[in-house]
Structure 1
Amino acid sequence: MRTIFLLLASNIFMTIAWYGHLRHNDVPLWKAILVSWLIAFFEYCLMVPANRIGYASGFSGFQLKMIQEVVTLVVFSLFAVLYLKEPFRWNYLISFSLLLGAVYFMFRK
C-alpha cells in the first residue's frame, strides 16, 4: 500500500510540473521550464522510493509500470477536469476501461 501512496503523491507533483503551466501562457517559457523542473524534483523524491519499495515487496518492474500508468491517468483526469476545466468525454472512459483490462492481465499468474 505504501508503494501505491508514494506513486499517487509523485504523480500529483509530476502532473502539476508537466501541465500546470498550460493555463499561464503569459509566463515566459524558460520560467515555466524552470518551475516545472523544481516541482519535478519532488516527484523523483517520491517515485524512486515507491519503485524500490514495490520491487522489494514482490512487484515486478512490469507491474510497477502498469500501476504507475493507471495512477497517472486517474490523477491527470482529475487535474484536467478540475484545473484545466476540460470536459471528461465518454470515449476517455472506454479507453481507461480497456487499460484496466490490461492491468487485469498484467497481474494474472
Structure 2
Amino acid sequence: MSRGLTSILLLIASNSFMTLAWYGHLKFKEYGRLADLGLWAVILISWGIALFEYMLQVPANRIGYTGYGGPFTLVQLKVLQEAITLSVFVGFSVIFFKDQYFTTNHLIGFVFLILAVYFIFRR
C-alpha cells in the first residue's frame, strides 16, 4: 500500500476516534448510568478515546509528510485532515444524531472545503 493511502486511511481512523471523543458524550444522556456522569468524568473518558486518535494521527502525518518520504506537504496534510474531519463528522452526525439536519448553507460550506482541497493540491 502506498504511503499516501496509508496516511489517508490512518487519518480517517484517527478522525473517527476524535469525533467520538469530541461529540459522543453528547449522547450519554440516552444511556442510563452515563447520563449522570459529571463533567470531569466525561473529560477523562473523552481523553481516553482521544489517546487512540493521537496514536493514529501522529503516524499518519509522519508517514504522509514529504520530509519523511511521504507524498504530502505540511499544508496538504492539514487540508486533507480538515476534509476528512468534515466527512467523518457528517457520517457520525447522520448515524448518531438523527435529529440534526443539514441545510443548504451547510452543503455550500462543505463544497467550499472540498474546493480548498482541490486548490491546495493543484499544481
Report sequence identity in percent.
55
Q: Normalising by structure 2, what TM-score? A: 0.84
Q: Give 2:42's aligned amino acid.
A: A
Q: Which residue of structure 1 lines up, in the alignment, with residue 9 of structure 2?
A: 5
List, as ranges, runs of 4+ consecutive aligned residues in structure 1 with deviation greater than 6 Å.
none
Q: Counterpart of 1:96?
A: 110
The alignment status of 1:58 with 2:71, answered yes or no, reads yes
Structure 1: runs of 5 or more not aligned: none
* Residues matched between the structures, number: 109
Q: Is the 8 Å Cα contact of residues 7 and 46 (structure 1) preserved in structure 2?
A: yes
Which ranges of structure 2 fall in alignment gaps of 5 or more residues?
30-34
Aligned amino acid, residue 70 of structure 2: S
When normalised by structure 1's length, the TM-score is 0.95
In the alignment, structure 1 residue 84 sits paired with structure 2 residue 97: yes
What's the CA shift for 1:93? 1.2
Q: How far 1:88 sits from its partner (Å)?
A: 2.1
Structure number with greater Rg is 2
